[in-house]
Structure 1
Amino acid sequence: MPTIRFIGQNSTIAVAPGTTVLDAARKAGIDIESPCNAVGTCGKCRVRLSDLTQLAGVDDSGAHSLPRAEREAGYVLACQTKVYGDIDVLVHSRAEENRRLSILSEGESFEYAPDPYITKRAEGGVTHVYGGGTLLGSEPGDTTGKAYGIALDIGTTTLVAELIHLPTGEHLASESMLNPQSAYAQDVLTRIHFAEEEGGLETLFHAFLSAFSALRDSLVRAAGIDPRYIYEVIYSGNTTMLHLATGVDPAPLGKYPYIPNIRGGAHLPADALGLSPFGLVYLPPIISAFVGADITSGILVSRLEQKAGATLFIDIGTNGEIVLAKDGRLAATSTAAGPAFEGMNIVCGTRAVPGAVEQFQVDGDGRPHYKTIGGAKAAGICGSGLLDIAGELVRVGVIGKSGRFVRADKGAFPEPLQAALRPYEGKTAFFITDEVFLTQQDIRQVQLAKGAIRSGITALLAQLSVPEAAVDEVLIAGSFGYHLRESSLLDIGLLPPAFAGKVRFVGNTSQSGAAAFLLNTGFRADMQALASNVDKVELADTPDFEKLFVACLGF
C-alpha cells in the first residue's frame, strides 16, 4: 500500500492504491481546503510534492489539473491526484491561516439595558441559577457575580465568539477563526450536499464542535474565568449553519419546498460544549430556509422595523441575504452569490490574510495602485480587492459592459493599463504584479455573484413597489461587506446608480445582534413575532426571474 507523509503535520498514512491525496488527508485528519467539495473546479486544494521524482507515483490526469509550469514545479490538485507510490506532501497549516486571517468581530448596535435570560440568587449557602425565571440548578456558595455567556456568529467562512458578563453587559474577550467546515465545502449548497454523503453530517458537526472548543478555551484564558460559569451561548448564523452547528440534517434545505428542520426561537442543551452543567444554546428565530438568524440579528440591531421610508439591508457573502424595510413592513430574500466574494473560485483568490490585495485604484494618468493587507508582498486577491479591481477596470474601460477585456490595441486607455493586459494560458489577463492577476473567468465569477445580488435587490423593490430612487439608505452588513467601497459596488453594477451617497457599512451585525439577544431576553419574543411577519420572497418563483438575472449580469 502506498504511504503518504504530510510534511509539517507530523502525520503518515497508508492508503489503498488509487486513493486521492485529498481523501487520504481527510482520513488522516489533515485539513486541505476543497471549497468545491472535490469537484476539481476551484483549484484551492493545490499541494506540493517534496520531490519531483514522486510525480511518477501519482496520476493527476483527471478532468481537472494545474498548468504545466506548476506541475513541473511539483504542484498537484489534491482532489484529482490518485496515489500509487510513496509520496511526501507539503500542506499549509490551517492554524497558521487562522492566525493570519483578518476577521471583523464588531458590528453596529444600539443602547439597551441588560435583562439576561440567565439570572442568579444566593440563599442558604447556595446559589440558584434561573433561566427565564425557571430554576435550572444550584451551586455551592455565593456565585452570583459569576455569570457569563457567549455570543457566537457562525458564518459560512468564519466564526466570531465574544465572552460577555451577563449581570453588567461587559464584553470581556473576543476570538475568531476560520469555520473549519469551509475546508470541506465553501458555500451553503455544497455544504448541504457534503452533509448528505455518508458520514458527512457527523464530520461537519464535529469540526464545528472542535472549533468551538478552541474558541471557548481562548476566551476563558483571556478573561481568566472558569467555563463552568458560562450558562448560555447564542448561535447567530444562516439557516444551514444552524443545522450543521447543532448536528441536524440540512438535507431539506437543498430540496423544494425547502422546509427547515429547525426554526429557531428555542433553546437546546449545551452538553457537548464544555460549559456549565446547566448550559443552554439559544437559536434566534429564522425567517426562511435561506434567510437565517444572522439576518434576524441584523434586523434587531439595525432597528429596521422602526425606520421611516425605505431601507435596504444587504449581507454580502457566499449566501447574499437582503431585507427591504418600507415604513415598518419587511420583505426578505436570499441569493446564491457563490464563493467568489470570499476569494474562492478565483485563480489568484485568497482570504483576507497578509499579502492579499484589498484595495485597487487607477489614477488620473492610468497608473494602477494597490494595497495589500499588512503591507506584505502581493500574494493573492481577497474579496474586497476583487471588487475594487473589477470596478476600477470597468470605470476606465479595460473591461467592457459585457464583462470582456477590451483588446489593448482597441481600447482608449493609457499605456500602463495596456501593458498590464498580458496572455495567461492562451487568454488575456490583467496583471497586478507578475504573480497576481485577474483572468477572464474571474470576471465571469464576479458577474455571476453581483448579478445574483442585484437581481435580488430588484425583485425585493418590486415586491414592495419601491422605486430605486426612493430608497433612503442602504446598509451593507458582514465582515466582507465592511471592507468594500461604495464606488466599487456602483461601478460593477451590484448597486444601481440611484444608491450613490446612501450606502453605510454596518459591520458584523450577526455578532452584535447575538450579543443583544444574549443580554436582553425581551428581544427574543419581539423578534420571533417580527420574523413570522416578514414577507418571504422566493426568487425561483418570481416571474421572469431568469430574464432579470441575465439583465443584471452586465457591467
Structure 2
Amino acid sequence: MAKLTILPYKKIVQIGIDETVLQALRKGGFEIEGPCNGQGICGKCKIRVENPDDVRPTPHHRISESENREKNIRLACQLTTAADISVHLPDDFSVNARILEGEHLRGIDLKPAAVVVLLKGTYAMHYAGVDSGITLPKWQPQYSPKGLAIDIGTTTLVVTLFCLLTGKQLTTASSINPQTQFGHDVVSRIQKGSTDEGLAELAEVVRKELNRLILTTCEKSNAAAEEILDVVIGGNTTMLELVAAINPEPLGHLPFTVEIKGGASYSAKAFGLKINPAAKIYIPPIVHAFIGSDITAGILACGCLEKEKPSLFIDIGTNGEMGINNGDRFIVASTAAGPAFEGMGVSSGIRAVPGAVESSHFNGESIDFNTIDSQPAKGICGSGIIDIIASLLKAEVVDPSGRMKTPSQRSEVQPMIAEHLRLIDEHPVFQIAENVHFTQADVRQVQLAKGAIRTGIDMLMTEANVTPEDLDDITLAGAFGYHLRPDSLETIGLIPKQLAHKVRFAGNSSKTGCAMMLLNASLRAYLEKQVPRVEHLLLAEKLSFQELFIANLNFPDSIS
C-alpha cells in the first residue's frame, strides 16, 4: 500500500496498487466531481500532482497540453500508483455548496400525526391511523415531540427539524447526496443498485449522510434524536427505493414497476434512520416510476390541484418533472433533462459555491457576470448557465441552431464581446475568466436539457388542450430557486414566448410540501385522495416526441 497525501488538507490515506486516486479520495471522504463514475469520459475529476515527472500522464481531451506540462494536471479516475504521491484537490472543491433548503412555513393548522401521552405512568405515542398507543420506553419527561421533513434529491439532501408542539422550524441541514460518486443520474444509480452489493453500498452511503444531517440538526437545536417521532420524505422514486434498500431494477424498464408504496407509513428501521425506534416514516403518494413523492409534495405545496385556471408546474433538476392543470384534469410527465442545469456535464460547471457564476446580463456592448459572494470566477452553476446562454444569444455569439462564433468572426459581434472569443483544441469557446469558459459542447448540452423539458411542456399542453395564452401562471420549483431571471428562460426557449411575467418561483417545493404534511396530518389524507385523479403521460410512447424534441433543440429565432 502506498500513501496518498491530499493537499491542502494534509490528510493521508492508503492507496492500493490497483486502486485509482479517485477511489482513494472518496474513501478518505473527499467527494470530488466524477459524473461518469470513473470511466474516464467526463474529464471532471482533475487534480494537480506534485513531482509530475514521477507520475504518468492521463491523456484526455479536456486536459490541454499546457495543463499537462505546466500545471501538472491529471485525471484522478485514470491515475494509479505504486509509490507515495501527493495531489492537490480541484480549485472548485468545496464543502460549502449552496443548496436550496426551502421556505419557513406560515399559516399551517397544527395537527401532527404523532402525539405523546402519559398512560398509567408510561409514555406512549398516538399516531394518526393507529388505534392503540405505541410505547415509548426511551422517552424522558423533558422531551418534546419533534419531526423531520426530508428531501432526498438525486444531487442534494435537505433535512429540516420541527417542533411538533409548536410547529416551529428549528433548523435545517443540507449536503450533496453522496450517491453522486456513483453517477449523477437515476439511470446510473438503477444500474448499480440492481446488484445486491451495489444496492447495499448505495443505501449505506445515503443513510450514513442522512443520519449525519439529522445529528447536526439535533445538535444545533439542543434536541435528542429520541425526540424525533415522525418523518415525511420527498424524493424521486429511485431515491426512495435506494434509501429503503429496495432493488430498483424494475424501475429501469417496462412496465416500470414501483416496489415501494406511497401514501404509507414505515418504521424508522426500514430506512436506517437513527431516531426514536418507535418513530414512523411517511412516504407521500407516488404516481409513477418517474413521478415520486417529491413531486406530489411539491404539487401540494404549490396548490396546483386547487387552481381553477390553467396552470403549469415545472420542477427542474437532474430529472425534469412537470404537471398541467386545465381545470378538469391534472396531467404529469417527466423528461431526462440530465445534470447540465445543476452545473454538471458542462466544462466549467460547478455547484453553487463561492466564486460560481450565478447570473449574467448582456448590456448591449458587453456581458456582465455575477458570482456567488462576489468572489473571483472559478466556474458556472446552474442559474449562471441559463443566463450565459441567454446572454450569448442576445450578443449573437450563439445563433438559434446553437452554433458558436469563432475568433475569425470577431467582426460580427460587439468589440468588447469579440475579446472573449477563443479556440481551445480548435473548438470555439467564450472565455469568462482564466480557466472558466463556455464551450460549443456546453451549448449542445444545454440544448439537450432545454429541448427535453420544453418538449415535455409542449406535449402536456397539447394533451390538456391548453395554449400558452391560456396559462394563468407557471410555477417553477427545483434547482434554481430564486436565482434565475424568468426572461432568460424565455430567451432560450425553455418556456413559450410572452410568458416570463407569469413565472412564479416555489423554491424547494418538495421540502415545503413534506413539512406541511408533517405539521398537519390531515393533508396526507387530502393528497392521497387527490392523487388518483392525477394522470401520467408517458412521453416516450408518443409518436410526436422525437420530432418535437429535435425541433426544440434549437433556440428561438428572434431574441429580444
Amino acid at match of 1:548: L
Aligned to 1:468: 468
Which whole-Å CA distance do the structure 2 matches of 1:206 and 1:477 have between them? 29
Distance 1:530 1:109, change over 3 A: farther
Amino acid at match of 2:118: A
1:242 CA drift (Å): 0.8
Distance 1:26 1:145, change over 3 A: closer
Aligned to 1:79: 77
- Secondary structure in structure 1 of the residue aligned to 2:419: helix
Q: TM-score, normalised by structure 1?
A: 0.93
- Secondary structure in structure 2 of the residue aligned to 1:488: helix
1:350 CA drift (Å): 0.5
> What's the CA shift string for 1:34-78, capped at 9, x where partnerless?
2222232322221222221232xx4625x7662222222222112
Which whole-Å CA distance do the structure 1 matches of 2:255 and 2:89 have between them? 41
**Percent of residue pairs identical:** 37
> What's the CA shift string for 1:342-400, capped at 9, x where partnerless?
11111111100000000111113x12111100010110011111110101111221110
- Worse overlay, 375-384 or 130-139: 130-139
Which whole-Å CA distance do the structure 2 matches of 1:11 and 1:203 have between them? 24
Which whole-Å CA distance do the structure 2 matches of 1:127 and 1:472 have between them? 51
Aligned to 1:477: 477
Q: Is the 8 A contact 2:16 2:82 kept in 1?
A: no
Q: Is the 8 A contact 1:54 1:86 kept in 2?
A: no
Q: Is the 8 A contact 1:126 1:142 kept in 2?
A: no
Distance 1:30 1:101, change over 3 A: closer
1:83 CA drift (Å): 3.2
Q: Is the 8 A contact 1:476 1:505 kept in 2?
A: yes
> What's the CA shift string for 1:407-456, capped at 9, x where partnerless?
46376431111111111221111111232110000000000000000000
1:124 CA drift (Å): 3.2
Which whole-Å CA distance do the structure 2 matches of 1:253 and 1:108 have between them? 34
- Tell me which of 97, 104, 123 is aligned to 1:101: 97
Amino acid at match of 1:367: S
Aligned to 1:454: 454
Q: Is the 8 A contact 2:382 2:479 kept in 1?
A: no
Q: TM-score, normalised by structure 2?
A: 0.92
1:86 CA drift (Å): 3.7
- Alignment of structure 1 residues 109-120 onto 2, 5 Å: 111-120=107-116
Which whole-Å CA distance do the structure 1 matches of 2:104 and 2:300 have between them? 11
Which whole-Å CA distance do the structure 2 matches of 1:470 and 1:305 have between them? 17
Structure 2: 5+ residue runs without aligned partners? 556-560
Which whole-Å CA distance do the structure 1 matches of 2:248 and 2:287 have between them? 16
Q: Is the 8 A contact 1:48 1:90 kept in 2?
A: yes
Q: Is the 8 A contact 1:243 1:262 kept in 2?
A: yes
Distance 1:399 1:460, change over 3 A: same
Amino acid at match of 1:326: N
Which whole-Å CA distance do the structure 1 matches of 2:247 and 2:411 have between them? 52
Aligned to 2:150: 152
- Worse overlay, 286-295 or 6-15: 6-15
Distance 1:108 1:453, change over 3 A: farther
Q: Would you say how many aligned residue pairs link Structure 1 and Structure 2?
A: 548
Aligned to 1:67: 64
- Alignment of structure 1 residues 372-383 onto 2, 5 Å: 372-383=371-382
1:202 CA drift (Å): 1.6
- Alignment of structure 1 residues 6-405 onto 2, 5 Å: 6-7=6-7, 8=9, 10-17=11-18, 19-26=19-26, 30-55=30-55, 58=56, 60-61=58-59, 66-72=63-69, 73-91=71-89, 97-98=94-95, 100-107=96-103, 111-132=107-128, 133=130, 134-139=132-137, 143=141, 146-196=144-194, 199-271=197-269, 272-364=272-364, 366-405=365-404
Which whole-Å CA distance do the structure 1 matches of 2:404 and 2:140 have between them? 70
Which whole-Å CA distance do the structure 2 matches of 1:286 and 1:110 have between them? 26
Which whole-Å CA distance do the structure 1 matches of 2:138 and 2:432 have between them? 64
Distance 1:253 1:482, change over 3 A: farther
Which whole-Å CA distance do the structure 1 matches of 2:423 and 2:30 have between them? 36
Distance 1:33 1:9, change over 3 A: farther
Distance 1:452 1:107, change over 3 A: farther
- Secondary structure in structure 2 of the residue aligned to 1:97: coil
Which whole-Å CA distance do the structure 2 matches of 1:465 and 1:351 have between them? 38
